[in-house]
Structure 1
Amino acid sequence: MKLTNLLLVTLVFSVTSLFSQSEIKGTVKDSDGIPLAGANIVVKGSTNGTTTDFDGNYTIEAVSDGTLVFSYIGFETKEKKIGGQSTINITLSEGNQLDEFIAVGSRTAPRSNTDSPLPVDVVGAKDLTSTGQASFDKALQYKIPSFNTVQTPVNDATSLLDPYEIRNMGPSRTLILINGKRKNLSSLLYTQTSPGRGETGADISAIPTDAIKRVEILRDGASAQYGSDAIAGVMNIILKNSANEGSATIRTGITTEGDGEMFGIAVNNGSSIGDDKGFINYTIDLSKVNQSNRPGTVNAAGDAADFTSSNPNSYGSYLNGSLLGGVDLTGFTVPQAVDEFTNNYVGTADYNTRNAAILASNAQGLATTEEFLGRRPDAGNINGSPETASAKFEINTGYELSENTNLYANAAYVYKKVNSFANYRTPYWKPLSEGSEYLADFFPGNNPNTVNGYDGYVPTFEGLLTDYNATIGFKTVKNDWNVDVSFTTGGNTQTYNVNNSHNANEVYSPSTWVDANSNGTLDDGELSQGSELYRSNSQRSFSPGGTSFSHNVGNIDISRILSDKISIGFGSEFRTETFEIIEGGLASYDGGGADSFAGNSPENSGKFNRYNFGGYFDIAYDVSDNFLLNGTIRTENYSDFGNAFVWKLSSRYKFLDDKVTLRGSVSTGFRAPTLHQIYTQKAQYSFVPGQGIQVGGLVNNVSSTANILGLPQLDAEESTNFTVGLGAKINKNFNVTVDYYNIAVKDRIVLSTEIGATATDAVGNSIGNTPLDQVLNNNNLSDISFFVNALDTKTSGIDFVANYKNISLGDGTLDFTLSGNYTIQNERDGAVKNPQLVEDAGQSVVNATQEALFFTSRPKTKWILGANYNINKFGFSFNNTYFGKTTFKQQGLDENLRTEFTPKIVSDLGVNFNATEKLTIALNINNLFNVLPEWGFKAENAAGQALIDDTSLTYYGITSIQEQSNLITFNQRYSQMTYDGYHFSQLGTMLNLSINYRF
């Protein structure tokens, strides 16, 4: 905290030691002597600026030894030293485009993109809308090579918010800013087997695309400049600030499969405030997207093996059968269990008797399965894109309080409702057996072979999300000191409902004692059992609760150019965070809870908070006009885990008349464990290959259970980042950048794989006597998982961007863009850091599936080649995105195999027609050639190749390789849509039409 206190003292001293300014006036004209209205004038190295009026006149305050920067779109940019003058007139020549000043990457004076020592992508509003994608995150997927996101099916709460990441680092390691201020995290913690497992991120899909002026993506570690979460980089979303421009857009779309219908309307508009002293810009975006369904054709034999309760070929039945001769079949797959049982029993009376029973039950179980799937080949499964309705509101405003002081504010509110489905409970998965006869009354159907036509049921999952953020602050310039003071608040709440389900657990109300003979003792017949609460008395709608996250942030940022060569910046931030696990209704968790999604129990619910306080100091030294050095230090103190100190050094050198720039940086970073990771504790349903649906437990690190198990508390991740790059601006139309990055993360926080019992009997029950076994048995859990600082990782790669624009072709102009990302290295560094209980159980918190999620489930390389051609009233765009190879190791997959996803090119076509100066009609065909993900098995070794080549039948007429496919696709339910490894749209071709009218 000593450094923090020193920074605060420096801050106070600097604010009070301001120097005097004088007023400068003048006129800005073009080379023909015509006044330029709206030209920009900025005091170099500051945010103090103004614009010319209709006659080209301006007035600004600045110190006498300062420098003014004059710029206007389509004209050269000029700098003019004040030198004590009170009047400065400027003439700008046409021909050069205005270099946009970027707000991200520096805590001193803003710099243009070409002057920045750091790699920054700037994506304009037009670039985002040209993709034809319905949401901001999906638009970035097809604009930024190192950015990836994917829609995941049947992942419960994940349907509300798709995980995203930059440079394969997960959603929690990219900091999101709105107008330079930190956006709140989502309350969602990804706990299923999907990209981003164990992490959370800000909900960038909640930001309406029509409200965005541009997006600045800093592809470099920036914890020293911005604090926690900036290990992979920073995304700064700049909102529109126009006071006199606006538009209304109507969007509609549909997939070529005839589903996923989309309709939306967005309005963006602005207005001036108080004699043009301020502005207000607002956006309203309302949309509805219908469900898209892409189920697979379910394999009957695989489903019969997994779910036919009377089928002796099911895994559990073989374990039960092993009791006959004491054969331990724990950990065997079904075919292995068949062989082991046969080898131990063949030729015996027990074998002959059991074999006859197996054959008879096989036929009965398979016939039941085939009958249902003959009527419903997809097993009633609904997976793909859920039905979504959303309303988004954004406002951005600013007001000039005085000549050098501006008030600014922005606010947003988002409402999103998602309707999705759990896996269909088939009648052979949830049969009418003793104790469950009530299902026929709960879910009547049209099955001719069952009571009331019972044909199974499908629970629904309905999610409601609200997200808000707001910032208010002021910027003032006095004697060349730039002061920015702000307060930011934000929050995200997600609550859920489960319908068309039931609680199948045996739970009774408390027993009643009636002292019939008034003798004060409990006699026979005086204690009556409580009534059964669920099963046949169960409700069918449940409120499982949800989660909520909010933060409040205060910032003070100060900067000044001390001379032509040195500028400084420093500031402080105070942040409070609150995370709440919202308790569900009693029936949603009692006894095990609602089928498909258990609610939050009281002991797992609560409200948790923390605060942190930090400060930074930044100095930039322009050794010469070409050579820049920049350094930043930062210290932070968190109330729950302690201190963090990080630093950053960066540099830039320009040569060949500023046409080539060499840049690089080295820095340290950190990411604090989120409150979600520290406090989340829950029971959750998941599919375990070969064993059906199991209930596991997620144990948090501050609970009594964690103490029993000896789980360590979480600490911050630490990183070391190195970046070096080369940029060439050959001419005003052609530029190229190449950047190498290397990110080493120490003590990376992961959600462990499922840790099971240390020892089991023949039927899979825990018989060990360790604290782990006791926790599992006492809570009726098959396994537990938890968060732990388990990994050190290394990630490196290359980013490439090239732009060539304004190529004359016929009567029009042609632009080309080629950008790409290639991952050189993304892997674990050293051994997994297992807690002692996991080591004692002979297990690991990171298995092959986890490793694949971290390191190989995103494209090794991704390239985007785009072309835009504008001619007269038409604009044509053709973008091709190459998604490179990904590999995966699904849970249950044979260790000698992996799945590999084939590289694909997704092409998007856009046509714009400018019907009038104000009316534009746009047609986008996304995924023009209906390219879908494809995967196949690859052998890790000779044993794997032998398994691929083996076409012999094992059980139910299934080959060994077919069984592997069944395991990873839930018996082909997810042949097109799966949780793992896919990295682009799985819905096929989408047609989108939009009509935009500019006010």
Structure 2
Amino acid sequence: MNNTYFFRLMAAILIGLLMLSTTFAQRIQGHVTDATTGTDLPGVSILVQGSTTGAITDANGLYILTLEPGNYTLRISFVGYATQTQPVQLSAGATTTVDVRLVESLASLNEVVVIGSRSTQVRTSTQTVAPVDVIQSRDLVATGQIDLTQQLNFVAPSFNSSRQSVSDGTDHIDPATLRGLGPDQVLVLLSGKRRHNQALINLNGTIGRGSVGTDLNAIPSSAIERVEVLRDGASSQYGSDAIAGVINLRLKEQPGTTINAQLGQQYKGDGQVAQVGINHGFKLGEKGFLSLTGEFRHRGATNRVGDYTGPVYVNWNAGQQTGETTADYVARRQRLYQQDQTLISQNQFSLQNNLQVGQARVENAGFFLNARVPIKNTNASVYATGGLNYRRGLAGGFYRYPYQTTQVITALYPNGFLPNIQSSINDQSLLVGVNGENNGWRWDISNVYGGNSFRFDVTNSNNASLSYLGPTNNPTNFYAGTLSFYQNTADISAAKEFGKQLGLTSFNVAAGLTYRNDQYRIKPGEAASYLNFSPQSGQSGGAQVFPGYQPTNAVNAHRHVYGAYLDVESDLTEQLLVEVAGRYENYSDFGGNLAGKLAARYRFSEAFSLRGSVSNGFRAPSLHQRYFSAISTVFVSTGTGLEPRQTGTFRNDSPIAQAFGVPSLGAEQSTNFSVGITSRPLSNVSLTVDAYQINIQNRIIYSNQFARGTASAGLIVATILNNAAQTDVNSAQFFANAVNTQTQGLDIVIATNPRLSTGTLDVTLAANFNQTKLVGDIKRPANIPTDATFGNFLFNRQDSARLTLAQPRNKIQLTFNYRLRKFGAVLRLSRFGSVEAYDPANPALDECQSPKLVTDLNASYRIRKNLSLTVGANNLLDVYPDPLRVIDAPTPERYGSAALDNSSFGRFVYNRSATQFGFNGGYYFANLSAAF
């Protein structure tokens, strides 16, 4: 065969193949865009109904389907948009173009829900047996916030989170709650898998005191496609912690590139914000994908401190001496006060800004990936999710004034100093799994490993007991130790739909096994951060603001958790949907627990349904609560000021806790009841109303201080501490199952999109009303005397208010979202209910902040096809909480307990223990977003 013949033969074969493709190859192609803005929509699913054939639009919103001749119906769906169906007739050798313009769906009530069900039935949040909020990424961005906790705080009324101030590590991780319960009573899932907890345990006087939550801000919001919030007890479905509900974070999957950048600052000129997030998605074959996200966030510090009126160089606020007359005492105070004022003037000491009361400075960098790769020639896929996050923060403590000679080396800091806590928080996770379908069985095998570490460094401080070294040799920076928590969870599950075999619309059975290993570690700091090098001098040892963890605090604790669950969901009739679930878990450190749930929804008509559930749940004590211990300086309110005390937190299994009669920690037990309605009274109006009651027994609390004293109770404490060789410790604290609570509430969501002659408008009214109260007696440890004064230190009136009154008892949000061609605007009105904070002993010092209305407004303009600019203001009207009351501040003329002051000599203008929305004031920003 010569070359000429060969080339002729190849040309003939090629022409023949082209003719065959022209004759027999047909395709459907098209372009999918937003009906309102005309922008391309990447990642839209185009499925041929009745088959597994489909496609996903590329970065330009384009798709291609190759099919045999025939009649087809295409189903076009995309998160946040109304699903469309399109009939298509495809002729032999033809190419048919089907362009689609998708319309945004009615708020979140029409969104398809994944959380709360393992069935394959497609259900929206008005069709589920329990209430679910579906929050899209665009809704998160529209808040103008950059941290996930704050974004959710302004779009989900049942969710609460406020930044804390002067509260050690809690300044760097925002406590987050659901339905007014604790941070550790809501379970967080990432792509449907359990997310690990944070390493930090909240110990200061903040929301969630004594609890361990999940660090939501370790997840870049740029990586999130949507958030699903299940507002119902779900321990039987997802395991421990799901007493208040479940937050499921769904990561982005679609191809294309999105970029979001924001600059902003507070009205006061501080709190500067810079954020940039980039997400890029790749298609891997026809059904696979790889989505990569990188995000950087800078959040500047804010300061809303008041002018200081207390002693600086001379302590004129000392108590009355033995044998001293009142007149002599007042005269001495006045003399010392004048001496102090003279020194303040001579040294030009500023009485402004010597304390930082506001949000901490934080830099945050994160990277996330999300991937799925189909396994060739099978119905299975390998999937993976991984993330790395690093955060560095800086927050101030209480100023140490030069008159406090037991805490200040005056040769080093002649004017005192403001010590800082510097945090380094590392968070990482990796999920790898494989799932598929065989003979109708949907199966999934996965393993997720995650961890969080929190390193404490103290800067601009001193160890007063090292004063003998002189100013040049004294250290001012200290490594104070590291907390870490790691978790490995393995799951295997299977589910199958038996509806057809049973003659039902659906009858889904799901079952699974889980194994989890938890590890909690405390690494001690350097010796200078915790030692007292001259105990006879009377000067305090350890780094001021945060004494380091000691070798006696070091721990490396593990536990194993085994679990099994069964979940059945069925449409027994066209009207009745029923779900039954049960889960057993066994913990190696405290035993087993069985949780169950029964839920149902009855559809009376297309316009009205009734739903309800009853369940029991549990929350296992965290390893942090079982094994944390530390010696720290705690500032205690005495009515005349804040008094520093060396306080020891002792492990639940320690000899000191046992000497007090504290039993081993057990699980918190809950029973949940809910009933609600879902309705579509009009075609463009949706309504859900859900009432709930959550009873929790044996809630774990972090006790107050059992202090040394000269009375009988104080002598008992002194004896216990001395017998344990804790002679430098003034008081003791520990964790205990101590209280029962009942929470009752109501959730309401109304959404509509009224028809306008120009543009589109979505209106959503969402509200949460809740009330938590204590039920029954406080469970005091066996060896604590029953006298009221001493017993109140376990759980006093301040602790009670923090648990029941410190979070808004109602939150109502009304949102208007308007779009007209290239222009868009969002107006959000958020009403935060009242909060209260009680003094530990004196009702005259109780505080109540009245309800406040916060207005957010932003406007956007599409500069180019895929480029938009948004400018806006959060807290547009610069609203602040009610200021603290200063009833009778300490002065040279006032002395003893008669002086009533919650402001700590004017430094605190606003309450920091009970917060509604923070006290930073107004914030304006500009946001640039692009999609390619």
Instruction: Give the TM bin, normalised by the shorter chain.
Output: 0.7 to 0.9
Give the Cα separation in 1 of the matches to 2:844 and 2:644: 25
- Cross-structure match for 1:721: 672
- Cross-structure match for 2:138: 126
CA separation of 1:242 and 1:379: change in aligned 2, threshold 3 A: closer
The residue identity in structure 1 corresponding to 2:744 is S
Give the Cα separation in 2 of the matches to 1:137 and 1:409: 25
- Cross-structure match for 1:165: 177
- Cross-structure match for 1:645: 594
Find the partner of 2:214 among 195, 202, 211: 202
Give the Cα separation in 1 of the matches to 2:702 and 2:121: 39
CA separation of 1:599 and 1:42: change in aligned 2, threshold 3 A: farther
Give the Cα separation in 2 of the matches to 1:236 and 1:707: 39
Equivalent residues of 2:235, 2:595 under 8 A apart: yes
- By how many angstroms is 1:779 displaced? 3.0
1:580 and 2:521 correspond: yes
Residues 432-463 of structure 1 show CA distances to partners (whole Å, capped at 9, x for unaligned) of 9xxx7x532x23xxxxxxxxxx2111212110
- By how many angstroms is 1:759 displaced? 3.3
The residue identity in structure 2 corresponding to 1:103 is V
Find the partner of 1:667 among 597, 615, 625: 615
Find the partner of 2:807 among 837, 858, 883: 858
Where structure 1 has 5 or more consecutive residues not aligned to the other structure, the ranges are 1-25, 31-35, 60-67, 81-90, 325-340, 444-453, 508-531, 938-946
- By how many angstroms is 1:291 displaced? 1.9
Give the Cα separation in 2 of the matches to 1:626 and 1:735: 19
Equivalent residues of 2:314, 2:339 under 8 A apart: no
- By how many angstroms is 1:287 displaced? 2.1
CA separation of 1:793 and 1:649: change in aligned 2, threshold 3 A: same
Q: What fraction of aligned residue pairs are identical, expressed as a percent?
A: 29
TM-score, normalising length: structure 1: 0.80
CA separation of 1:42 and 1:204: change in aligned 2, threshold 3 A: farther
CA separation of 1:394 and 1:168: change in aligned 2, threshold 3 A: same
CA separation of 1:69 and 1:712: change in aligned 2, threshold 3 A: farther
Give the Cα separation in 2 of the matches to 1:78 and 1:251: 38
Tell me which moved more, 617-626 or 216-225: 617-626
- Cross-structure match for 2:749: 801
- Cross-structure match for 2:478: 542
Give the Cα separation in 1 of the matches to 2:451 and 2:714: 42
CA separation of 1:94 and 1:466: change in aligned 2, threshold 3 A: closer
- Cross-structure match for 1:698: 649
- By how many angstroms is 1:840 displaced? 4.8
Equivalent residues of 2:111, 2:134 under 8 A apart: no
| Pairing 1:220-619 to 2, within 5 Å after superposition | 220-243=232-255, 245-273=256-284, 275-298=285-308, 300=309, 303-304=310-311, 311=316, 313-315=317-319, 318=320, 321-322=321-322, 324=323, 342=325, 357=332, 360-365=335-340, 368=343, 375-378=349-352, 380-401=354-375, 402-430=377-405, 439-440=410-411, 442-443=412-413, 454-505=414-465, 538-564=474-500, 565=504, 566-591=507-532, 592-619=541-568
Residues 746-766 of structure 1 show CA distances to partners (whole Å, capped at 9, x for unaligned) of 0000001112236349xxx95
- Cross-structure match for 2:537: none
Give the Cα separation in 1 of the matches to 2:364 and 2:189: 22
- By how many angstroms is 1:896 displaced? 4.2
- Cross-structure match for 2:929: 996
Give the Cα separation in 1 of the matches to 2:657 and 2:470: 31
Residues 58-111 of structure 1 show CA distances to partners (whole Å, capped at 9, x for unaligned) of 79xxxxxxxx9956456767899xxxxxxxxxx999999885432210234354
Q: Secondary structure at the match of 2:755?
A: strand
Q: Secondary structure at the match of 2:425?
A: strand
Q: Secondary structure at the match of 1:176?
A: strand
Tell me which moved more, 184-193 or 915-924: 915-924
1:820 and 2:767 correspond: yes
- Cross-structure match for 1:628: 577
CA separation of 1:659 and 1:379: change in aligned 2, threshold 3 A: closer
Tell me which moved more, 484-493 or 110-119: 110-119
The residue identity in structure 1 corresponding to 2:746 is I
Give the Cα separation in 2 of the matches to 1:791 and 1:933: 30
The residue identity in structure 1 corresponding to 2:906 is Q
Residues 667-688 of structure 1 show CA distances to partners (whole Å, capped at 9, x for unaligned) of 0000000000000000111212
CA separation of 1:79 and 1:729: change in aligned 2, threshold 3 A: farther
- By how many angstroms is 1:836 displaced? 2.3
Residues 608-639 of structure 1 show CA distances to partners (whole Å, capped at 9, x for unaligned) of 11010000011123221110111011101000
CA separation of 1:971 and 1:310: change in aligned 2, threshold 3 A: closer
TM-score, normalising length: structure 2: 0.86
Residues 644-703 of structure 1 show CA distances to partners (whole Å, capped at 9, x for unaligned) of 0010000001122x2212110000000000000000000111212235221111111112
Tell me how large the CA RMSD over aligned residues is.
3.2
Give the Cα separation in 2 of the matches to 1:685 and 1:52: 58
- By how many angstroms is 1:371 displaced? 6.8
Q: Secondary structure at the match of 2:516?
A: strand
- By how many angstroms is 1:992 displaced? 1.0
Equivalent residues of 2:706, 2:714 under 8 A apart: no
1:783 and 2:731 correspond: yes
Q: Secondary structure at the match of 1:808?
A: coil
CA separation of 1:356 and 1:124: change in aligned 2, threshold 3 A: closer
Equivalent residues of 2:708, 2:717 under 8 A apart: no
Equivalent residues of 1:108, 1:618 under 8 A apart: no
Residues 191-238 of structure 1 show CA distances to partners (whole Å, capped at 9, x for unaligned) of 000111000111101111111111000000000000000000000000
CA separation of 1:357 and 1:652: change in aligned 2, threshold 3 A: closer
Give the Cα separation in 2 of the matches to 1:290 and 1:770: 44
- Cross-structure match for 1:911: 859
CA separation of 1:935 and 1:257: change in aligned 2, threshold 3 A: closer
Residues 165-210 of structure 1 show CA distances to partners (whole Å, capped at 9, x for unaligned) of 0111111001000100011100010000011100011110111111
- By how many angstroms is 1:770 displaced? 6.5
Aligned residues: 851
Q: Secondary structure at the match of 1:172?
A: helix
The residue identity in structure 2 corresponding to 1:971 is F
The residue identity in structure 2 corresponding to 1:296 is G
The residue identity in structure 2 corresponding to 1:660 is F
1:739 and 2:690 correspond: yes
- Cross-structure match for 1:450: none
Equivalent residues of 2:665, 2:736 under 8 A apart: yes
Equivalent residues of 1:491, 1:550 under 8 A apart: yes
CA separation of 1:590 and 1:577: change in aligned 2, threshold 3 A: same
Q: Secondary structure at the match of 2:549?
A: coil
Q: Secondary structure at the match of 2:253?
A: coil
Q: Secondary structure at the match of 2:135?
A: strand
Give the Cα separation in 2 of the matches to 1:102 and 1:960: 60
CA separation of 1:911 and 1:118: change in aligned 2, threshold 3 A: same
Give the Cα separation in 1 of the matches to 2:44 and 2:273: 42
Residues 807-861 of structure 1 show CA distances to partners (whole Å, capped at 9, x for unaligned) of 33342122111000111x3111101001123335632311011011100001111
Equivalent residues of 2:659, 2:783 under 8 A apart: no
- By how many angstroms is 1:266 displaced? 1.2
| Pairing 1:8-47 to 2, within 5 Å after superposition | 38-40=45-47
- Cross-structure match for 2:35: none
- Cross-structure match for 1:970: 904
Residues 524-556 of structure 1 show CA distances to partners (whole Å, capped at 9, x for unaligned) of xxxxxxxx6799853211100020001000011
Find the partner of 2:118 among 87, 94, 107: 107
Equivalent residues of 2:456, 2:480 under 8 A apart: yes
- By how many angstroms is 1:278 displaced? 1.4
Give the Cα separation in 2 of the matches to 1:688 and 1:831: 25
- Cross-structure match for 2:635: 687
Residues 243-263 of structure 1 show CA distances to partners (whole Å, capped at 9, x for unaligned) of 2x2212221111111111111
